[in-house]
A and B are shown apart, each in its own frame.
Chain A
Amino acid sequence: MKLTVNGTEHDVDVEDDMPLLWVLRDELNLKGTKYGCGVAQCGACTVHLDGQAVRSCQVAAIDASGARITTIEGLAQQDAMQAVQEAWIEHQVAQCGYCQSGQIMQAASLLAERQDPSDDDIDNAMGGNLCRCGTYPRIRAAIHTAAQKLQGT
């Protein structure tokens, strides 16, 4: 089947039900998207499907075929992503960093929907993204900073 990832079309020979996560990681060698739980409990595998944040461990390859798939590797090409990544570095968010690809993908999706999210908006949008190191206070702060960057203030 054909998959369009970060603007590039790939031909992959996989089962229809192989989760997109494993197509990305093991077939396309895009290792920025992480396996954490396999059951949509941690959000480490979050990617964008037509701009929408989804858990790639729950998306069958066949369902992603024909959609625009964006991973952490592709986000830097977008303004929203740059702002989020800059804010993440400014706040020195990452500890082990393993969840951060997913956190950043989720945050970028939130900022695409809400220009100036409140703490409640952030908590609601980011609630499915687990961080075992506990970087949540810095994630909140970085999202506010990214929002300001995007508004040019």
Chain B
Amino acid sequence: MGRLKTITRRSFLVGSVAIGGGVAFGTYLAMRNLPNPVAATLAPDEASFNPWVLISPEKVTLITPHADKGQGVASAQAALIAEELDIEFGQFEIDFGQPDQAYYNTAMAEEGVPFMSTDTSVVAEATRAVMGSAFKILGVQGTGGSTSMPDSFDKLRYAAAIARETLKLAASQQSGVPVDQLTTKEGAVHLPDGSRIAYTALAPLAAELEPVSDVVLRAPSEWRLVGQPMERLDIEGKTTGSTRYGIDVDRDGMLHATVRLNPRKGGVLNGYDASAAKTMRGVRDIFEITNGVAIVADNTWRAFKAAEAIGIDWGPAPYPADQADHWDTLDASFTDDHLDRTWRNDGAVDSAAGNVIEATYRSPYVAHQPLEPLNATVLVTDDQVEVWTGHQMPVFLQQQVAKVTGHDAEAVIFHNHFIGGSFGHRLELDFVKQAAEVANRMRGTPIKMTYSRETDFAQDFPRHISMAKGRGTVADGKVIALDLQIAAPSVITSQMGRLGLSVPGPDIQIAAGAWNNPYSIDNFRLRAYRASELAPTSSWRAVGAPGAGFFFDSLLDETIHAAGADPMAERIRLMTHEVSRTVLETVAEMSDWGAPLAPGQGKGVAFVESFGVPTAEVVLVTDTDAGIRIDAVWVACDVGTVIDPVNFENQVEGGVIFGLGHAMNCEITYADGMAEQANYYDHEAMRIWQTPRIFVKGLENGTKVRGIGEPPVPPAAPALANAIFAATGKRIRQMPFNKFVDFV
């Protein structure tokens, strides 16, 4: 890793770099040649070189800087490179690389703008370019927002194509055979006489060459890997127990730590008594850290046990202590002075004539709680800091750790790991800072800090709560007008605030999944209200769309029923966006929408667009004596290009289960400033016996490649609520639904 660190620290205006007998290929030149709005804003002195292909005389290494928390992007990134490099799985190693601003996420920047994904106007595109520059300067090397594939799709293939053509040039010089008579296959350049020169053998020569930059990407019809089922590179390790997650890190002389932190998140530590805990077996040290106490021991369990034996006096919460006050705050925020933005004002909602329905909806705090508890291993010495964990924001991690230990950010070496789930949890840095604080006190000793599950629940910054008030107007059996108001605290303000950053302008997440819906409703108004900050919150898989998408689609469904129209037919009538309409038509066909149902059965449909992916889901439920049974779900969505159909299906199934499970039975509530839910028995989501049959279809009519990690989540809750209504006549307007119905 030291080698990688050196090259990414230096700035280059070229597409390759010689390194210790080998060569690294990146894409600066390729980006300059692309019709890419972000590339157009690159000043020459801003450009830095970021490698994705490293070839040494010994091996080929592909850099996959997007963090893999289960979504399979390590494999997908490698596949994009391998596609153009002509190398097979098994012939290369992968490496997560070192944090570097050069790996800034183009697509994440583009998605953060207040324009609909369907809007390709000059203003929208220009804003995306400006946002890209900001992300570059901030060094937002991030994984999130379902952007790994949009960000990587062109960049990585260009990097590989540059590498391939430069290797061919090297082979040509070495063999005397003209380049146009050379081919590449299976990690080697092939000569007309049938002989081959391995890429590794060409590395020293290639490093001396000006890289070939006028490369052309292959047409989709020539793809060998993209679009085909692959065996994920991480699948064997994850099936044999040999994958090493951050929590499995082991260093010589390492000690195990845990922390007790004020469960009133952000509140202070007034005092503590560790006299009993200090005498317990294996305990090496107990000391105060920011807002809490650290326990260092020779074994994780001994640290946990000692932690429980400490008596602590905690300060009050810096937010309302009781849940009712959080809801009251939202309820009081539908006022002009809280108006964050009027996102849509199509037609004339107030003068639309017809019968009116009104409804109020709620979406609760929900915890992330991936199965790998938060943990980080840190070794601080006077010269440098090493960090072993899995994280989605490597550059921010470096900066924050450096602040804690007093080193330069460049002295922080980060070893990223496969992550045992995230759903947004590993965007946060508090746990890494706490580990650094402990390790800084114990310089020279590697410290692995692990949260207990209870600490993880207590310290989780959950999905934000939100509330909506909706009015629907119907006439002549049709939806005439929708008027939706959504109030929520700003999750972006909360999350970025912890990094010391403020984000100007409206928070696109307050009404995400609602404001950007591609329906053409004659009269449609959507207003978002920013409530004052309450408990700290963080991005939770799909961020704003699980709440706001639930509000919008529920209101639409209620209004359609009030009109006496068919939920599917009326949605299709209102959907003029071609790609989205095809999604709805596809899910109608897959689910045999109009087919007669057995007694007690009901079908519900929902459509939510998030992260540029129009997604429609149909849920079939049966109202049984024991409660609601979810029988089947059909999903159609459009990501432009499906990279790996097997992993795609897995992600969609998982997203549906995630969306359904949390809508069924999960919420975080506060009492006395503390989360009332402490472990999975309080916040269970879906179990295997509740899992329906799930049928998935990925469409490829969209023009941009999109990510699939998040988009299947938002439609699940409204589709389930709509199905329950169809089966029982009971309309559920709040998550979790188990407050109103039982589930089998």
Q: Do A and B come from the same complex?
A: yes
Q: Interface on A for B, CB 8 Å cutoff? A: 14-15, 18-19, 21-22, 25-27, 29, 31-39, 41-42, 44, 71-73, 76, 85, 88-89, 92-101, 104, 122-124, 126-127, 129-140
- Which stretch of B30-38, B118-126, B235-243, B607-615 is in the interface? B235-243
Shortest Cβ distance from B249 into A: residue:
A31
Q: For B232, B237, B650, which residue has the most chain A Cβ atoms within 10 angstroms?
A: B650
CB-CB under 8 A from B489, the residues of chain A are none
Residue of B nearest to A129 (CB): B688
In contact, B453 and A140 (Cβ under 8 angstroms): no
In the complex, are the beta carbons of B235 and A94 less than 8 A apart? yes
Specify which of A39, A92, A96 is in contact with B420 (CB 8 Å cutoff): A96
- Judge if B741 is at the interface, Cβ distance under 8 Å: no
Q: Is the CB of A85 within 8 A of B240?
A: yes
Cross-chain contact B679 with A41 (CB below 8 angstroms): yes
Which one of A21, A25, A39 lies within 8 Å of B453 (CB-CB)?
Answer: A39
Total contacting residues, chain B, CB less than 8 A = 67
Assembled-state Cα–Cα distance A95/B709 (Å):
11
Contact status A122-B241, CB under 8 Å: no
A-B CB proximity, top 4 nearest: A32-B241, A97-B238, A96-B70, A98-B420
Contact A31 B250 (CB under 8 A): yes
Q: Report Cα–Cα, A130/B422, bound state, in Å.
A: 15
B651 touches A95 (CB 8 A): yes
B499-531 CB mask vs A (1 if < 8 Å, else 0) is 000000000000000000000000000000000
By a CB distance below 8 angstroms, the chain A residues around B693 are 137
Q: Which residues of B contact A14 (CB under 8 A)?
A: 299
Least CB distance, B503 to chain A, in whole angstroms: 29
How far, in Å, is B224 (CB) from chain A's closest CB? 19
Chain B residue with Cβ nearest A94: B238
CB within 8 Å of A: which B97-144 residues: none
CA distance A136 to B681 in the complex (A): 19
A interface secondary structure, majority: loop
> Complex Cα distance A96/B370, Å?
9
User: With contacts A126-B688, A132-B423 known, is A18 near B301, CB below 8 A?
Assistant: yes
- Cβ contacts under 8 Å, A26 to chain B: 256, 299-301
Given A33-B241, A39-B679, A126-B688, A92-B235 contact (CB < 8 Å) = yes
Q: How far is the CA of A71 from the CA of B681 in the complex (A)?
A: 25
Q: Given known contacts A19-B301, A36-B453, A130-B687, is B650 in contact with A97 (CB within 8 Å)?
A: no
List the one stretch of B458-466, B478-486, B656-664 in contact with chain A: B656-664
Contact of A134 among B236, B250, B454, B656 (CB under 8 A): B656
Known: A104-B239, A130-B680, A132-B685. A34 touches B653 (CB 8 A): no
Instruction: Name the residue in B70, B647, B681 with the highest tally of chain A Cβ atoms < 10 Å from its Cβ.
Output: B70
In B197-249, which residues have CB < 8 Å from any A CB? 229, 231-232, 234-245, 247-248
Residue contact A35 to B420, C-beta cutoff 8 Å: no
- The answer to whether B688 touches A98, judged by C-beta atoms less than 8 angstroms apart, is no
Q: Are A22 and B300 in contact (CB under 8 A)?
A: yes
B418 CB within 8 Å of chain A: yes
Residues from chain A with a CB closer than 8 A to the CB of B655 are: 134
Contact of B646 with A97 in the complex, beta carbons under 8 Å: no
CB neighbours (8 Å) of B650 from chain A are 92-93, 95, 135, 138
Residue B564 lies at the interface, judged by CB distance under 8 Å to chain A: no
Kindly state whether residue B72 has any CB partner on chain A within 8 Å: yes
Q: In the bound complex, how far is the Cα of B281 from the Cα of A36, in angstroms?
A: 24
CB distance from A92 to the nearest CB of B (A): 5
How many angstroms between the C-alpha atoms of A100 and B677 in the bound complex?
25
- B352-388: CB near A (< 8 Å → 1, else 0) gives 0000000000000000011111000000000000000
Cβ–Cβ contact A39 & B687, under 8 A:
no
In the complex, which residue of chain A has the Cβ closest to the Cβ of B452? A38
> Residue A123 contacts which of B244, B304, B688 (CB distance < 8 angstroms)?
B688
Shortest CB-to-CB span from B650 to chain A, Å, is: 6
New A-B pairs, 10, CB < 8 Å, besides A14-B299, A26-B299, A123-B688: A37-B453, A38-B454, A76-B240, A92-B646, A93-B650, A96-B421, A97-B70, A97-B237, A130-B680, A138-B653
A residues less than 8 Å from B248 (CB atoms): 31
A76 to B164, CA, bound (A): 39
CA distance A27 to B304 in the complex (A): 15
B654 at the interface (CB under 8 A from A): yes
Query: Looking across the interface, which residue of chain B has its beta carbon closest to that of A18?
Result: B301
CA separation between A21 and B301, bound complex, in Å? 9
Interface core residue of B70, B242, B656, B688 (most chain A CB under 10 Å): B688
Whether the pair B231, A92 counts as a contact (CB closer than 8 A) is yes
The distance from the CB of B349 to the nearest CB of chain A, in whole angstroms, is: 38
Complex-state Cα separation, A31 to B248, whole angstroms: 6
Show 23 A/B contacts (Cβ-Cβ < 8 Å), sorted by A.
A21-B301, A27-B299, A31-B244, A36-B371, A36-B372, A39-B679, A41-B681, A71-B241, A88-B235, A88-B239, A93-B239, A95-B654, A96-B69, A96-B238, A96-B370, A97-B420, A104-B239, A131-B371, A133-B658, A136-B653, A137-B694, A138-B650, A138-B653
